[in-house]
Amino acid sequence: MKLGKRSTLLMGVATAVLLTTAGCSGGLLGGGGNSTADSGPIKLAMVIPISGSSAPTGAYMRNGAQMAVDEINKDGGVLGGRQLELDVEDEACDAQQSVAGANKAVSNGAVVSVGGYCSGATLPEIPIFQKADIPMIIPAANSQDLVKQNANNVFMINGTGKQQSTAALTFIKKQGFATVALVDDNTSYSKDINTETRSQIEADGTVKAVLSTSVTAGESDYSAVVRDIMGANPSLVYWTGYYQEGGLIINQLKNAGFAGKIMVADGSVDPSLAQIAGAGAEGVYATMTQTPETLKGAEDWIANYKKAFKSDPGPYSTQSYDAVRLAAKAIDDAKSTDGKAIIKALEAIDGFQMFSGPLKFTPERTLSSGGFVILAIKGGKFVLEDDLS
Amino acid sequence: MSQLIWDGLFVGSFYALIALGYSMVYGIIKLLNFAHGDIYMLGAFVGFAALTSLGGIPASLSIGALLVVMLVSMLLTGTAGVLIERLAYRPLRGAPRLAVLITAVGVSFSLEYGVSAIAGPNPRAFPIRLEGNVFSLLGARISLPQIILMLIAAVLMILLNFYVQKTSTGRAMRSIALDRNASLLMGINVNSVITRTFFIGSALAGAAGVMAGAYYGKIDFLMGFIIGLKAFTAAVIGGIGNIKGAMLGGLVLGFVEAFGAEWFGGQWRDVFAFAVLILFLTLRPTGILGERVTERV
């Protein structure tokens, strides 16, 4: 989310040096780490935010993945009896930390990576895992920038930014919003949805994008963007950033007397959004992939999750759960822990059942349909508004 | 236009409150206290903890509760400022400027991640939120909470000005800023005056933290970082080391941001604000009200 705020300011040079050396060691260690022994547990790397402002989501993801690991191990593991083991590393939504985490996971001998939440932090992990022939099943990060890398080891099981923008536009047209203001927070993920939605709106022609602007994440006062929006007076504001700033902007817009509707992207779908936004959050729309609460038939799964972790599942719990199951399936299909064989097995997967539906990767190694739906806040909670079908 | 001026004034009064601490500390011991923004964050969290422990507060009492909690928070953040000075800065009093600067960065990190470890990394919604009717005055949308918060800020700044100009401690502060060694020879207890300076500066930042929490409704452990930089900018614009300059600099920065966002678009607001900082550092490093101080040997 935050591409190194303080570090870039204070230690730019030092980090550049660190990054270079870290990149090198990734390649060196990768060669050794991949030749895992034929017995013992198989390690799955999970580089996710454990600290920093995205830490709550990181916990949801870790729990979801851990749940799948426990279930698979209970059922006899993979490759005829080998146990899975989750190797969780902290990325803190920061490019420098994610590189360090990925390198650590590679040297620990991870076979598949099942992490990735903040796109800006996931991006620099790609070359590290690629050099070590480790396939990355990315459960949450979904910037188009990740697809553009065209790396043969990257498999995204969350809808992409492009698919999210398409879902947003479909809903905008369905509801008949004539003018739209797009606001992002200048991070890779957020800007991606903003520009993608704008270009789709322009190509489509029925709706008008009256404003497309950015704010600085981490501040409290967003009066500048509120003035811009009030001036442009759109019928819908689409906020593509994360929930902290999203909550503040919704609150400040409502206080300024904004009468139009507000929609947020999946990074803002968090229970805290409504708390921060206060009363103004009611009726806010969101583009989001299915969460456990909105999925039909997930009640048993939710009950198991609650039993194991004494808390409710949250955003990306299901995707992380599916990522681990998919990794186990691919290892079994490949009949080995060799990265290249697992990548082949992932490419060949057809009809694997996940929460988002049967899986078959596109040639870009993304989902063929994003599975985005529209949620709305009712009584302080996100509920399904429109499944866009 | 009037909306721009009003928004600039409102944000500027927050910047001014925090810039005061920066400026006072710099004026007296020539230290850029980069942990100052995090004292603001600490203030917000102390306020959060105090309000949570009080339990539910009826909306009619929220202003009163806020004032009480603000005083508590000011006392505690002031004490925290004193402790930081005693533990981290005083042992380095004679050390090179760079060593102290880096210590300040270290203190800043310690505060941020200390709070994150204790209170958790999740953002918190503040227990009370000042909400009031918005009314229109000369074309600007103005709300009652904004007026109340600006009044509190103004009162605090007037009190501070009185303290520095009229009391003996204030006189001692000004004399230490002029020449520490001579003040020592004149029988001023330099250490105790520095302690008081830290207390007052930190208390003001703590007050700003509680006010921001109650107005914006969200606090998190990194909230002090950007506003700390902005307050530093404000202090430089006004003339670092100069108390009236810090107040003026805060308001000027508020205006610069509001007008910059209007002229160049919202996403250019910070670029414009920090470009103004660079311009000031190049053309007038002493700021609007600062005076050139000859280096004493």
Asked whether the beta carbons of A60 and A46 are under 8 A apart, the reply is no
Yes or no, beta carbons of A53 and B141 under 8 Å apart: no
B205: buried, middle or exposed (CB in 10 Å: 19+, 13-18, 0-12)? buried
Indicate the DSSP class of residue A155.
E
Q: Which chain B residues contact residue A10 at CB under 8 A?
A: 105
Asked whether the beta carbons of A89 and A102 are under 8 A apart, the reply is yes
Reduced to 3 states (helix: H, G, I; strand: E, B; else coil), residue B250 is helix
Half-sphere exposure of A12 (CA within 13 A, CB side): 2
Yes or no, beta carbons of A220 and B223 under 8 Å apart: yes
For A260, left (φ over 0), alpha (ψ -120 to 50), or beta?
beta
Q: How far apart are the first and last CA of chain B?
A: 49
Q: What residue spans define the domains of chain B?
A: 18-224
Residues 188-217 of B with CB under 8 A from A: 212, 216-217
Q: Does B143 touch chain A (CB under 8 A)?
A: yes
In one letter, which amino acid is B286? T
Q: Which of A6, A225, A257 sits opposite B225 (nearest CB)?
A: A6
Yes or no, beta carbons of A275 and B125 under 8 Å apart: yes
Q: Which chain B residues contact residue A210 at CB under 8 A?
A: none
pLDDT of residue A37: 55
User: Roughly what angle, to the nearest 10 degrees, separates helices B2-29 and B190-216?
Assistant: 160
In this predicted complex, what is the ipTM? Answer: 0.81
Q: What angle do CA A201, A146, A52 make, to 5 degrees?
A: 100
Strand-strand pairing, A208-214 and A179-184: parallel
pLDDT in tens for each of the 297 residues of chain B? 788 899 899 999 999 999 998 888 888 888 888 999 999 999 999 999 998 887 766 666 777 888 899 999 999 999 999 999 999 999 998 888 889 989 999 999 999 999 988 987 778 888 888 777 778 777 788 888 888 889 999 999 999 999 988 999 899 988 888 888 898 898 889 899 999 999 999 999 999 999 999 888 889 888 899 899 999 999 999 988 888 889 999 999 999 999 988 888 778 888 888 998 899 889 888 888 876 554 444
DSSP string covering B203-270, please? Answer: HHHHHHHHHHHHHH-EE-TTHHHHHHHHHHHHHHHH-TT-HHHHHHHHHHHHHHHHHHHHHH-GGGHH
Indicate the DSSP class of residue A233.
-
Q: Which chain B residues contact residue A249 at CB under 8 A?
A: none
CA dist., res. A139 & res. A118, Å (int): 11
Yes or no, beta carbons of A248 and B223 under 8 Å apart: no
Pure H helices in B30-167: 36-54, 62-84, 97-119, 144-166
Nearest partner of A64 among A83, A46, A89, judged by Cα: A46
In one letter, which amino acid is B262? E
CA dist., res. B212 & res. B230, Å (int): 15
Q: State the residue for tokens 């606090």.
A: B219
Q: Cβ–Cβ contacts within 10 Å for residue B297, how many?
A: 3
Residue A24 tokens, joined: 């090198």
Q: How far apart are the first and last CA of chain A?
A: 31
pLDDT of residue B60: 67
In one letter, which amino acid is A333? D
Q: Which chain B residues contact residue A276 at CB under 8 A?
A: 123, 125, 217-218
B43: buried, middle or exposed (CB in 10 Å: 19+, 13-18, 0-12)? buried
Q: Which residues pair with A375 in a beta bridge?
A: A286, A384
In one letter, which amino acid is A256? A
Q: Which of A5, A223, A247 sits opposite B11 (nearest CB)?
A: A223
Q: Which of A216, A221, A254 to mutate to test the interface with B (most CBs of B within 10 A)?
A: A221
Q: Which of A1, A2, A6 to mutate to test the interface with B (most CBs of B within 10 A)?
A: A6
- Summarize pLDDT for B205-214 with one digit per residue, the tens: 999 999 999 8
For A163, left (φ over 0), alpha (ψ -120 to 50), or beta?
alpha
pLDDT of residue A18: 43
Yes or no, beta carbons of B131 and A255 under 8 Å apart: yes
Exposed e or buried b per residue across B57-83, where buried means at least 16 C-beta atoms within 10 angstroms of its C-beta: eeeeebbebbeebbebbbebbbebbbe
Nearest partner of B174 among B8, B67, B28, B11, judged by Cα: B28
Strand-strand pairing, A112-113 and A42-48: parallel
Yes or no, beta carbons of B266 and A225 under 8 Å apart: yes
Yes or no, beta carbons of B267 and A257 under 8 Å apart: no
Q: Which of A219, A248, A268, A270 to mutate to test the interface with B (most CBs of B within 10 A)?
A: A219
Residues 28-57 of A with CB under 8 A from B: 51-53, 55-56
User: Taking CA atoms, what residue in A is nearest to B257?
Assistant: A224
| B268-276 contacts at long range (C-beta below 8 A, 24 or more positions apart) | B269/A216, B269/A224, B270/A216, B273/B230, B273/B233, B274/B233, B276/B233, B276/B237
User: Taking CA atoms, what residue in A is nearest to B15?
Assistant: A221
Residue B67 tokens, joined: 């004032």
pLDDT of residue A20: 44
Q: Which of A10, A210, A276 to mutate to test the interface with B (most CBs of B within 10 A)?
A: A276
Residue A116 tokens, joined: 């990735």
Q: Which of B120, B217, B266 sits opposite A224 (nearest CB)?
A: B266
Residues of chain A falling short of pLDDT 50: 1-36
Nearest partner of B205 among B65, B84, B36, B23, judged by Cα: B36
Q: State the residue for tokens 């939440």.
A: A117
Nearest partner of A185 among A1, A334, A346, judged by Cα: A1
CB pairs below 8 Å between A and B: how many? 95
pLDDT of residue A30: 40
Yes or no, beta carbons of B129 and A6 under 8 Å apart: no
Residues 75-134 of A with CB under 8 A from B: none
Yes or no, beta carbons of B131 and A218 under 8 Å apart: no
Half-sphere exposure of A18 (CA within 13 A, CB side): 14
Yes or no, beta carbons of B257 and A224 under 8 Å apart: yes
CA dist., res. A66 & res. B213, Å (int): 36
pLDDT of residue A322: 93
Q: Which of B216, B226, B267 sits opposite A218 (nearest CB)?
A: B226
Q: Which of A50, A190, A220 to mutate to test the interface with B (most CBs of B within 10 A)?
A: A220
Q: What angle do CA B159, B168, B69 make, to 5 degrees?
A: 35
Q: Which of B4, B116, B123 sits opposite A51 (nearest CB)?
A: B116
Nearest partner of A49 among A87, A4, A94, judged by Cα: A94
Asked whether the beta carbons of B70 and B48 are under 8 A apart, the reply is no
Q: Does A225 touch chain B (CB under 8 A)?
A: yes
Residue ranges of domains in chain A, CATH in brackets: 6-159+298-360 (3.40.50.2300), 162-289+372-386 (3.40.50.2300)
Q: Which chain B residues contact residue A213 at CB under 8 A?
A: 265-267
Q: Which chain A residues contact residue B258 at CB under 8 A?
A: 223-224
Nearest partner of B4 among A211, A223, A213, A255, judged by Cα: A223
**Which stretch of DSSP H or E encloses residue A185?**
none
Strand-strand pairing, A208-214 and A261-264: unpaired
Q: Which residues pair with A377 in a beta bridge?
A: A382
The pTM of this model reads 0.78
**How remote is the C-alpha of B103 from its chain's centroid?**
19
In angstroms, what separates the C-alpha of B267 from chain A's closest C-alpha? 5
Q: Does A219 touch chain B (CB under 8 A)?
A: yes
Q: Which of A224, A244, A252 sits opposite B269 (nearest CB)?
A: A224
Q: Does B3 touch chain A (CB under 8 A)?
A: yes
